[in-house]
Structures are given as C-alpha cells and as structure tokens.
Amino acid sequence: MSIKNDEFGPERVIEVYDQKTGMWGVLVVDNTARGPGKGGMRFVPDVTTEEVFGLARAMTWKNALAEIPFGGAKSGIRGDPKTVNKEAFIRAFARKIKPFIPDYYIGGPDMNTTEKEMAIFADEVGTPLAATGKPSSIGGLPHELGSTGFGVYCATLVAAGFVNIDLNKLTVAIEGFGNVGTFTMKYLTDKGIDVVAVSDSKGTIYNENGLDFENLLDTKSKKGTVTAYKDGKILSAEDLFKLNVNVLIPGARPNVIHAKNVNDVKAQIIVEAANIPMEYEIEKVLMKKGKMVIPDFVANAGGVISSYCEWRGYNEKEMFKIVEEKIINNTELVLNKTVGNDTRAAALAIAKERVSDAMSKRGWK
C-alpha cells in the first residue's frame, strides 16, 4: 500500500476480510474535522485501497465546499456483483466496520450500490444513521429523486449569469442520459433552455432547435437509446464534445475530454456533472482559452447535500431548497474567488481553508 499521510489525513485505513463469504473490503476515513466521514460504497471486482483513499480525499474537499458538517471518507467491496451473493457481502462488510459507524463513517450509494443496498447496510448495522440514499419508504431521500442533476442545473444558471449569457439564447449539450443527465435536462428545459444534444453509449442525438425532454425520455425508455429519437440528427458519442453550444455538460464517464479532443471543444462553459470528466491539465488548456470550467466537486455536490438532508431528517421539499441555496452560493463564491480563470484552484483553496479552520478549532494543528 502506497498511501502517504499528510496534514489532512487519512485518519483511518481499515481493510477487512470475512472468512465465511470471502468478502474483502476497505474503509478509508480521510478527515473528520468537520464531522463524520461521508462517502459512497462501491462494489467492483478490482477496487483497491489506493483508489478508495483517492476518493475519500475527494470527498473531504467536496463536503467542505458544499458547506455541510461532514468529513471525507469512502468504502469499497471487492467482488463482481453479478456473480457473488451481493446481500451477503454487504452484510459481512457492515458487520466488520460497524464499530466505526456512524461516528467516523456514513455510507451512501456508489458504483453498483443503490438505495436497496443502503437499506441492507443500515439494517445490518442496526441504525438508519449508518447510510444515506436509503429508500423513501424507510425515511430516506434516494438519489433517484434527482438531487445531483438539480444541483448541476443550478450551477449552470449561475455560470451563464456570470458571463451574461441570455438564458433565452442558451444552448446546452449533455453527455449521458442516466440519473444525472436526465434530471439536468429536465430542469433546464423546464426553465425554457434549449438542450440541443444528448448522448448515451449508442451515440448522440442533435437538434439545433432543441430536444423535447418528455419525448426523449419516452424514447430512451422504450427503445433503449436516445438515438432512436425521431426529430434530430444522429452523431457519434464523441461528436457531442465538438458541438457549437454555449454549455457542455459531461455527465457520465471519466476522462471524456482529453488531449485528442480538448481543442475541439467550442462551448464557452463546461459544467462537470460527472466525476473527473477530464484531468486538471486538460482543464487548464480550456481555462487558458478563456473558457469557464465549473469543477465536478462544485457542480455535482447536490447528491451529498441531499445525503446531509436525509441524515438530518429533512423532507424532499426542504432538501431541494437547501441544495439550491448551497449550490448557488458556493458556485458564486468559487467564481468570485477565481484568479486567472483557474476555478479548480479557487474551489480547492476554499475547501482546504474550511477543513484547516475546523482542524485548528479542534486543536488538531
């Protein structure tokens, strides 16, 4: 294991193994100065301790920037969810890390874990405070409500207003039509904004006059792909990033903007709905061209803000109000603090300052 401690953490790295099921898992609690460590639980065949640490550190910054009283943590279970007994693995993992819940870690959905797994996890630990993203039937606020997409929508409005683009003339392209992309499009089109292109794994559908959300959603549901939408031009998935739009929202896969296509990006604003849709060095290329990048841990924090609201027992209406307030305030703060167009540096500086302040007040430094 090649994790190096620094002034922020990690505080705890716990690898666990269950002899009966063969479950191997890892919990990394990075920093709890601002509150218990909050981060999702991923269930993949090749998860590593180093990967989970990197994600835990990212959650430290995301939760601090979101201005919620959570620290950063993450967990992972190694296994193919299609071939192992998923519930048995989840329960075994819960039993092994129970001593750290919820004082040091609060779980949540991530890759291959949903509201169902969070309900199982909380049941095994024995408290609803063990995880967020649980089903609404047991007091949860599942991410299926669309909190992340709603937050991306809020960040997009702030960014457009910051550079004085008339919303009536705004054009948007969205990569991905899963939970985040779907709700982002819903809220944008409800506002009267033209989403002119949407992609999925099969390709891109493009109509310069705008796509109809309900028709696109129905097409995706019935045909399995947005490219079956009748009123539009079919392009490759990669072509989405080259379109002449005001706003580009990468909302699915990592590293979709890279050295080979970064110079093809025409959008003035890139709002990162997905985690790490491009490396920092690629962001810098766009920033040097005068383009505005809203970093992932600023734009997609709606989900973790929703998690905080669930943890506090707020209802759905209260949650959306808090997501709106925090995403708008923090996006504006980052843009106002940005020097030389480097929005990520500004966001990171704000997050580090908040964590350092909490550490100082606790007497940790």
Domain-located, residue 290: yes
343 and 226 belong to one structural domain: yes
In whole angstroms, give the CA distance from residue 303 to residue 275. Answer: 12
178 and 287 belong to one structural domain: yes
**What are the tokens at 6?**
């620094």
230 and 279 belong to one structural domain: yes
Residue 1 has a pLDDT of: 54
Residue 308 has a pLDDT of: 96
- What is the DSSP code (8-state) at residue 109? B
Which residue carries 């709106």 as its tokens? 324
Residue 144 has a pLDDT of: 80
Q: What is the DSSP string of 222-266?
A: HHSSGGG-SSSEEE-TGGGGGS--SEEEE-SSTT-S-TTTGGG--
Q: Average the pLDDT over 94-113 and give the result.
A: 96
> Is the model's pLDDT at 2 over the cut of 80?
no
CATH, residue 24: 3.40.50.10860
Pick the catalytic residue from 38, 62, 74, 220: 74
54: left (phi over 0), alpha (psi -120 to 50) or beta: alpha
Domain span at 238: 147-302+332-348
259 and 168 belong to one structural domain: yes
User: Structurally, how many domains does the chain consist of?
Assistant: 2
Question: Could you give the strand order of the β-sheet that contains 247-250, starting from the edge strand earlier in sequence?
Answer: 233-235, 203-206, 194-200, 171-175, 247-250, 269-271, 292-294
Residue 324 has a pLDDT of: 98
Domain-located, residue 105: yes
- Going by pLDDT thresholds of 50, 70 and 90, the confidence category of residue 94 is very high
The verdict on whether 352 is a catalytic residue reads no
Residue 37 has a pLDDT of: 98
Q: Average the pLDDT over 280-294 and give the result.
A: 98
**What are the tokens at 145?**
């409500």
190 and 115 belong to one structural domain: no
5-47: per-residue pLDDT in tens? 999 999 999 999 999 999 999 999 999 999 999 999 999 999 9
Choose the final residue of a domain: 140, 159, 180: 140
110 and 176 belong to one structural domain: no
In whole angstroms, give the CA distance from residue 173 to residue 206. Answer: 9
Return the higher-pLDDT residue of 254 and 160.
160
288 and 176 belong to one structural domain: yes
> Is the model's pLDDT at 147 over the cut of 80?
yes
- Going by pLDDT thresholds of 50, 70 and 90, the confidence category of residue 142 is confident
Residue 124 has a pLDDT of: 98
163 and 118 belong to one structural domain: no
Domain-located, residue 358: no
309-331: per-residue pLDDT in tens? 999 999 999 999 999 999 999 99
Domain-located, residue 325: no
Q: Are 117 and 43 in contact (CB under 8 A)?
A: yes
Q: Average the pLDDT over 226-246 and give the result.
A: 97
CATH, residue 262: 3.40.50.720
Choose the final residue of a domain: 100, 124, 140: 140
End-to-end CA distance of the chain: 26
342 and 236 belong to one structural domain: yes
Domain-located, residue 1: no
Q: Which residues contact 328 (CB under 8 A, 6 or more apart)?
A: 154, 155, 157, 158
Domain-located, residue 365: no
CA-closest candidate to residue 192, choices 178, 171, 173: 171
Domain-located, residue 30: yes
334: left (phi over 0), alpha (psi -120 to 50) or beta: alpha
Domain-located, residue 283: yes
> Is the model's pLDDT at 161 over the cut of 90?
yes
Q: Are 291 and 269 in contact (CB under 8 A)?
A: yes
Q: Are 198 and 177 in contact (CB under 8 A)?
A: yes
Percent of the chain with pLDDT over 70: 100
122 and 158 belong to one structural domain: no
Buried b (16+ CB within 10 A) or exposed e, 167-188: eeebbbbbbbbebbbbbbbbbb
192 and 340 belong to one structural domain: yes
Q: Is the pTM of this model over 0.85?
A: yes
Choose the final residue of a domain: 87, 112, 140: 140
101 and 166 belong to one structural domain: no
Question: CA gyration radius for the chain?
Answer: 20
